[in-house]
């Protein structure tokens, strides 16, 4: 039974996008009403997405296309978290080879980070994103860099990304392929790590007790909320994901009961 008193005390809602607010070009029923209700009650929301294939501008365009007004400041992506992580770890001056879309690479470049597409350059770190422009050349470059000992980061561990026609391989699947080829595992930045919710709470000036995370994927969204010490609610799509996710290994406290294999 949901604890509605605790739910009413929430001021900040951290909302996943793909599979939670919409699926491809279809906004889920009630999503726009839900967003309006949060603001009409004096609350605020932030869209937290692991999907590093797009920049915030692209998400603004997409939500507007779906009938939801949004600003770039409403979004916090795994690329935002990556940039924060690099600064926090003293890696802001490192030379990065980013395996990602042109849209993804624009953001760290605008943030002043140094990027190269040249595998023969003195690359310090390989960054793997959800690269919908992936080529075999990039995979080969990644293997060479990893075998050379470059640091290795991944924006997100998702195995698949939902689409209207089913699932497609996401960053986690490509990392799995690189592990088979190089025996290297990345440091993961996005959900299920707690950094994204922590950044969102810090920027909003809201405590963990006043925050709720809503997502469709147990091993990333919900685990991220658990790891950040905040309440979370799984959206209904998660219940149809039994065969696409590893089991959750950490403790969880959720408003909704779901399978641990989602």
Cβ at position 217, least distance to Mg ion in Å: 5
d(CA 182, CA 91) in angstroms, rounded, equals: 23
Determine which residue in the list 216, 231, 238, 262 makes contact with Mg ion, applying CB under 5 A. 216
Which lies closer to Mg ion via its Cβ, residue 77 or residue 125? 77
Cβ at position 20, least distance to Mg ion in Å: 5
User: Which residues are registered as beta bridge partners of 195?
Assistant: none
231 sits near Mg ion (criterion: CB under 5 A): no
Cβ at position 16, least distance to Mg ion in Å: 4
Q: Considering only CA atoms, which of 199, 200, 201, 190 is closest in space to residue 223?
A: 190
Which lies closer to Mg ion via its Cβ, residue 113 or residue 189? 189
Determine which residue in the list 10, 11, 12, 19 makes contact with Mg ion, applying CB under 5 A. 19
Give how many residues touch Mg ion by CB under 5 A: 4
> What is the number of the residue whose Cβ is closest to Mg ion?
19
| 3 state SS for the chain | CCCHHHHHCCCEEEECCECCCEECCEECCCHHHHHHHHHHCCCEEEEEECCCCCCHHHHHHHHHHCCCCCCHHHEEEHHHHHHHHHHHCCCCCCEEEEECCHHHHHHHHHCCCEECCCCCCCCCEEEECCCCCCCHHHHHHHHHHHHHCCEEEECCCCCEEEECCEEEECHHHHHHHHHHHHCCCCEECCCCCCHHHHHHHHHHCCCHHHEEEEECCHHHHHHHHHHCCCEEEECHHHHHCCCCCCCCCCCCCECCCCCCCC
Cβ at position 160, least distance to Mg ion in Å: 10
16 sits near Mg ion (criterion: CB under 5 A): yes
151 sits near Mg ion (criterion: CB under 5 A): no
Cβ at position 97, least distance to Mg ion in Å: 27
170 sits near Mg ion (criterion: CB under 5 A): no
Which lies closer to Mg ion via its Cβ, residue 17 or residue 104? 17
Task: Compose the 110-149 pattern: x for residues touching Mg ion by CB under 5 A, - for all others.
Answer: ----------------------------------------
**């195995």: which residue's tokens?**
159
Cβ at position 52, least distance to Mg ion in Å: 13
Stretch that binds Mg ion, among 15-23, 35-43, 101-109, 120-128 (CB under 5 A): 15-23
18 sits near Mg ion (criterion: CB under 5 A): yes
Residues that bind Mg ion (CB under 5 A): 16, 18-19, 216
């Amino acid at each position: 039974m949901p604890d509605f008193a605790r739910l009413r005390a929430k001021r900040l809602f951290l909302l996943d996008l793909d599979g939670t607010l919409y699926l491809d070009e279809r906004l889920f029923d009630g999503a726009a009403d839900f967003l309006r209700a949060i603001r009409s009650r004096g609350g605020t929301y932030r869209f937290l997405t692991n999907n590093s294939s797009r920049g915030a501008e692209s998400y603004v365009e997409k939500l507007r296309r779906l009938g939801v007004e949004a600003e770039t400041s409403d979004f916090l992506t795994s690329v935002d978290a990556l940039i924060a992580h690099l600064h926090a770890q003293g890696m802001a001056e490192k030379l990065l080879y980013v395996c990602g879309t042109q849209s993804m690479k624009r953001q760290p470049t605008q943030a002043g980070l140094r990027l190269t597409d040249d595998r023969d350059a003195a690359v310090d770190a390989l960054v793997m994103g959800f690269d919908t422009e992936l080529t075999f050349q990039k995979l080969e470059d990644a293997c060479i860099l990893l075998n050379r000992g470059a640091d290795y980061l991944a924006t997100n561990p998702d195995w698949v990304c939902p689409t209207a026609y089913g699932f497609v391989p996401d960053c986690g699947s490509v990392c799995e392929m690189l592990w088979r080829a190089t025996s290297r595992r990345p440091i993961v930045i996005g959900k299920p790590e707690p950094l994204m919710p922590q950044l969102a709470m810090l920027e909003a000036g809201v405590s963990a007790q006043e925050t709720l995370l809503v997502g469709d994927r147990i091993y990333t969204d919900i685990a991220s909320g658990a790891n950040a010490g905040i309440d979370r609610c799984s959206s209904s799509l998660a219940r149809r994901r039994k065969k696409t996710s590893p089991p959750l290994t950490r403790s969880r406290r959720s408003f909704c009961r779901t399978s641990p294999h989602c």
